Amino acid sequence: MEAAVLFNQEAEEAVIGSLFLEEDLIKDCTLIPEHFYLARLKRILWAMKRLDEQGKPIDVISVVEQIGTQNLEKIGGISYLTDLAGSVPSTANFNFYQDTVLEYSQKRKAIEIAGRMIEEAKTEEIGSTIHKGIQQLMAIEQNGMDGDSGSILPCLTDIYYDCEMEIGDITGIPSGFNKLDQLTGGFQESDFIVIGARPSVGKTAFALHIAVHAAEEHISLIFSLEMAKKQLLKRAASSLGHISTQNLRNPRKYFDDLHWAKLADAMGKLSLATLHIYDRAAIDISYIWSQVRKMRKTYGEGKKILVVIDYLQLIVGDPKHNQNRQAEISAISRDIKHMARELNVTVIALSQLSRGVESRQNKRPMLSDLRESGQIEQDADLIAFLYRDDYYDRDSEEKNIIEVILAKQRNGPIGTVDLHFHKEFGVFEDVEKGDKVGIEK
């Protein structure tokens, strides 16, 4: 009898069934997972809310995908979901079901508060106990029902259920390099990432590799302020097909049948990639912002978007700064960070380094080597530098090795990852097994 007083299983299941029957109802659903008594229904509503945030349809298949097949037993299996989806003939009584679930949630909280008041009244000062109890009882009606009120409870719920779900180690956009992804967990949405290197070290090739790899599953936008679209696509084809860039300059002279087959395969892969390249001569931040916003609207919230800017110091600044380039770059850096957060995209901006690095004995870049470094260093969530020892020393034992130095990572460790760099193809590869990844806590 006590359980029947504390929750109404039929009403809770009817709410979920209605959301399956008419998926747009999720936008009118003011309930949050904490209002439900049954744990399995809490998880299902959490999954539905997440799907709605991502712009994805709400049905049995999408809910299973969101929760993960490995977690199906916790919600009663696919059969239970299917039963729920077919349990409600009409959504006409949805508001009644929702109000009933809320009412029972309030009853449970009221009983819990009353129980605490009884226990505290035995030992605590009675006036304080009554005052605190009345405040808690008055707050019950507002909890979780006031939309975007700044309440942290829905976010805490998300964090809790995120921890329960098995989502794997890579939560962002993979770079295509296993050891780098071990450090970063992939490039995260809303993050502003800066990749710095001296000229001709390989930063454009590196960013292009990441963008093309990401475009196989996600959306990649490249804003190229230095190279034309055709040049970038030739580089991408060279990398994908392992074709020498020298040979690609004059295919009629240097290509054999194998080269033509490799080129055809590479061009086929590029044609299937969701890759957009913007190569206008003078690009300012407002143009970048408008194009990214357009792509976000086109592809919806459910798609991850990677934005690559090559490179930061070539973006046209606001003339109001009166030729103060440092102020211009600072404003551009802030705008890029705001864009990443507002549009929920991952932004990789390439950056030149100052010549100061050349005057040191150890020429590995540091944060202070970023041009106009102050604001960039503050805004960026992750800063990586590319370093090649054979760039400075032709006799170096580290031939064709490029170091990716994570100098700053707001939400993770810093460290160094070694990659093989095949300059003739513009190809980067993970080093062999057994080579170390340097990680600093």
Dihedral pair phi/psi, residue 349, rounded to 5° = -110, 125
CA separation for the pair 320, 268 (Å, rounded): 46
CA separation for the pair 417, 249 (Å, rounded): 32
Q: Give strand pairing partners of 404.
A: 386, 417
Q: Give strand pairing partners of 221.
A: 276, 307
CA separation for the pair 220, 134 (Å, rounded): 54
User: Would you mind telling me the total number of residues written for the chain in this entry?
Assistant: 441
Residue 52 CA: distances (Å) to CA of 25, 39, 62, 70, 151: 10, 20, 11, 22, 20
Rounded (to 5) percent helix, strand, coil in the chain? 55, 15, 30
**Active-site pick, 164, 226, 358, 440:** 226
Peptide bond into 299 cis (omega under 30): no
CA separation for the pair 303, 300 (Å, rounded): 6
Residue 389 CA: distances (Å) to CA of 135, 141, 365, 394, 399: 66, 65, 12, 8, 8
**In this structure, what token pair is assigned to residue 280?**
């206008």
- Written in H, E and C, the secondary structure of 176-210 is CCHHHHHHHCCECCCCEEEEEECCCCCHHHHHHHH
> 3-class SS at 395?
coil
Is 397 marked active-site? no
**In this structure, what token pair is assigned to residue 122?**
């035995």
The letter for the amino acid at 156 is: L
CA separation for the pair 180, 406 (Å, rounded): 9
DSSP 280: -
Report which secondary-structure segment, H or E, holds 254. helix 251-254
Rounded to the nearest 10°, the torsion over CA 335, 336, 342, 348 is: 180
Q: Which of 392, 199, 236 has the alpha carbon at shortest distance from 313?
A: 199
CA separation for the pair 31, 112 (Å, rounded): 20
| Residues known to be catalytic | 226
